[in-house]
Amino acid sequence: MPVNTMLIGIIREGKKPSDKRVPLTPSQCAEIQKQFPSIQILVQTSPIRAFEDSEYLDYGIEVVDSVAHCEILLGVKEVPLDELIPLKTYFFFSHTYKKQLYNRALLKTILEKKIRLIDYELLLAESNGRRLIGFGRYAGIVGAYNGIRAYGLLTKSFEIRPAHTLFDRNEMQDELKKVRLPKDIKIAITGKGRVASGIVEILASLNVQSVEANDFLMHSFEKPSYTQLSVKEYVQRIDGRPFLSSEFYMNPVGFESAFKPFTQAADLYISGHYWEKGSPNFIEVEDIKDEKFRIQLIADVSCDIKGPIVSTLRPSTIDDPLYGYNKSTGLEVDFGSENSIGIMAVDNLPCELPRDASEDFGNEFAEKVLPHLLNNDIEGVLWRATETKDGVLLPDYQYLQEYVDSL
């Protein structure tokens, strides 16, 4: 092995419940090694991945029991505390930068073991501050599929297989051929980012036509239709002044929902927005109790509990994805119950199509992150996403010190 070889290890996912996704697929590992001879990728053996050990071996990728000798370690979900290897550089979704209480011990242990933590969620483009990498597109794809499936079950008009029983996206497309939507169905989408783009992909594959927001509110159609709402179309200023998205993102106080008219025009609502605590709620109890409320089913892909959609009472699971929300009592009821809205609120949607979601994620890593590893991070992309190094929180993340110390 050349002296200057960069050893990258793909770790075995240890968090429970098990996650079958990978940061790099077998073919991506092989392509990276071919394109960059200075990189060697090792894969820790695992019985639960969507890609089996044999698939990596078939591409000439070494599968090992331990990746402790690798300098850089790639995962997907949080690493169990006892599996963290001191003094390494880790990439994974740590879910710590928002002070999530359930991962406070994780961040403390990372500091104690002097690990450099680079969180995928914090890898941002300097030009616009958008995330470079994520599973959002496949959250939208699977979420929209689940929403369409739930609508078929609710209306007893068609049945398609659960997404998690499908091998890949190709099988999903075959299932979608069974869908028979009413010709006048109207679907509302919130959001314009990665998640929403995945939602639109599914609707486009079903030949659902896109219409402008005003037309959606004012007209009926002879063909299944959807409207995709940007933040300025579902949020407005309370004082009536012109809406500026930059002001809203900087401080959501002083804004209110403009979504109510869409609750009275849409049959199906699929959420794909980004929501922060303090932002206005989109659907309130009184909206649902209004006799003009039309939505039959909400596929809440964003899944913010106690957030903008009051009927999202809890996250649902891959195995049991659907429940009902009683419009009068506000209580959870069985899916399909009288006087209820159907709710789909699975919060780990990309796990239902792990092979395709992994391939999408790995392509983004190879294109948008790997170059910064190879050029000594001259643009500071990795540095800005580094929460911890050498046992301390970096300056941008000093606000987490009290969160760690309070454990």
Q: What is the pLDDT of residue 128?
A: 81
Which residues have C-beta within 8 Å of that of residue 40, sequence separation ≥ 6? 1, 5, 6, 7, 8, 33, 62
Number of H helices, E strands in the chain: 15, 18
* Predicted local distance difference test score (pLDDT) of residue 2: 56
Q: Which residue matches tokens 């903008």?
A: 308
Residue 107 CA neighbour count, 13 Å, CB half: 31
Q: Can you tell me the distance from the alpha carbon of 269 to that of 389, in angstroms, rounded to the nearest whole number?
A: 43
| Structural domain includes residue 75 | yes
Q: Are residues 189 and 165 both part of a single domain?
A: yes
Q: Which positions ≥6 away from 13 have C-beta within 8 Å? A: 19, 20, 21, 46, 48, 49, 75, 76, 77
For 339-375, write each residue's pLDDT tens digit.
999 999 999 999 999 999 999 999 999 999 999 999 9
Number of domains making up the chain = 2
SS3 375: coil
> What CATH number is attached to the domain comprising 323?
3.40.50.720
* 222 and 277 in a common domain: yes
Residue 197 shares a structural domain with residue 267: yes
Is 101 among the domain residues? yes
Residue 274: per-residue pLDDT: 84
Give burial (CB, 10 Å; 0-12/13-18/19+) of 238.
exposed
Are 135 and 261 in contact, with CB atoms under 8 Å apart? Answer: no
**Amino acid identity, residue 254?**
G
Which residues of the chain have a pLDDT value below 50?
Answer: none
pLDDT tens per residue, range 70-90: 999 999 999 999 999 999 999
Instruction: Give Cα separations from 240 to 255, 258, 296, 301 (angstroms).
Output: 9, 12, 31, 30
Domain that includes residue 77, residue range: 6-127+355-405
Last residue of a domain, one of 333, 352, 371: 352
**Residue 1 domain flag:** no
Angle between helical axes of 136-155 and 194-205 (0-180°, round to 10): 50
Residue 399 domain-assigned? yes
